[in-house]
Copies of this chain bind each other. A is one copy, B any other.
Amino acid sequence: MAALINDTFIRALLRQPTPYTPVWIMRQAGRYLPEYNATRKRAGSFLGLAKNPGYATEVTLQPLARFALDAAILFSDILTVPDAMGLGLYFAEGEGPKFERPLRDEAAIKKLAVPDIGSTLRYVTDTVSQIRGALHGKVPLIGFSGSPYTLACYMVEGGGSADFRRIKSMLYDRPDLLHHILDINARSVIAYLNAQIEAGAQAVMIFDTWGGSLSAAAYREFSLAYLQRIVAGLTRDHDGVRVPSIVFTKGGGLWLEDIAAIGCDAVGLDWTCDIGAARARVGAKVALQGNLDPMTLFAQPESIRAQVGKVLASYGNGPGHVFNLGHGVSQFTNPDHVGALVEAVHDLSRAYHA
């Protein structure tokens, strides 16, 4: 495959010098882009889009055509793994992801098994290969997965939840059952991410969207321990090139030191952390990715630029920062404002890399 032309993202993750701070946007291929909505319409549904390598490749590349982003991220869903386990992922109109067969009893939990990634998730690795081919080395491609705990939330609740009553009842009453699910999820995620790396993913990110809903003690036992196992199980070099890993626990700002200690290359930050304070806490252990409030993008371009400047100033001089939002870009965002953000990051960050 083509050599990498713009490697600032990879270098920043490895805390190596770069001429400016690289930037990409969580959910950069998404509903705020009219061209994404057009492709989705042609695909017929979200899953029709995510499961078709041609369409998924197309939408992955769309934001790169508009903005000078320093990385592409595989277009997929975080719930592909439990879907491959046979839980039956579907999207009810306006309701978010759901499972036809959630884990509602001990028998169902005991039957759960690591899926054969090569067959059940072939559509994902095929998409990774196609995107790599289409990128021609322009920027690196990020692969990703949901974290074991986040996957378990959906698997047990059967969909999104405002309070996570079911999984937390299990956590407090039957921790053995939850650990069983998490063990299978962790082994599945390792196989899944390594298959993405094998297919061409040049960095991988684990989204722990719901770890931040746990108490500190439960987070360590039921989320972080499995994140650590995954990081230890990842292919570190592919074809002689390092494949950096990023771990992002939304709402995990209290536990940054613990997250930075699990062996990942970078830690994602949501917008509630001051990135300078976060850097002081984790030291030289990891790079940091983040962390502009996504709602900043509803302000005017000059306000966006000012807020970008504040994040860059808070991080300060030197390498190890990948600019991003602190959460996915809202579907209601004006695409021109994303452009203003990317331009501001590139312009304003050079001073910190002199």
Chain A interfacial positions (CB closer than 8 Å to B): 163-165, 168-169, 172-173, 212-219, 251, 253-254, 271-274, 277, 293-296, 298-300, 303-304, 307, 310, 326, 330, 332
Contact = CB atoms under 8 A, between A and B. Distances in A.
Question: Copy number in this complex?
Answer: 2
Contact of A172 (B164, B212, B299): B299
Closest 7 CB pairs of A and B: A172-B299, A168-B295, A216-B274, A169-B298, A172-B303, A173-B299, A253-B254
B274 A251 contact: no
B165 A293 contact: no
Contacts of A326: 215
A168 B253 CA distance: 21
Nearest to A216: B274
Contacts of A295: 163-165, 168-169, 172
Contact of A163 (B163, B212, B219, B330): B330
Contacts of A251: 251, 272
B172 A296 contact: yes
A310 B217 contact: yes
Contacts of A214: 272, 293
Nearest to A270: B215
Given A251-B251, A254-B254, A330-B165, A215 B303 contact: no
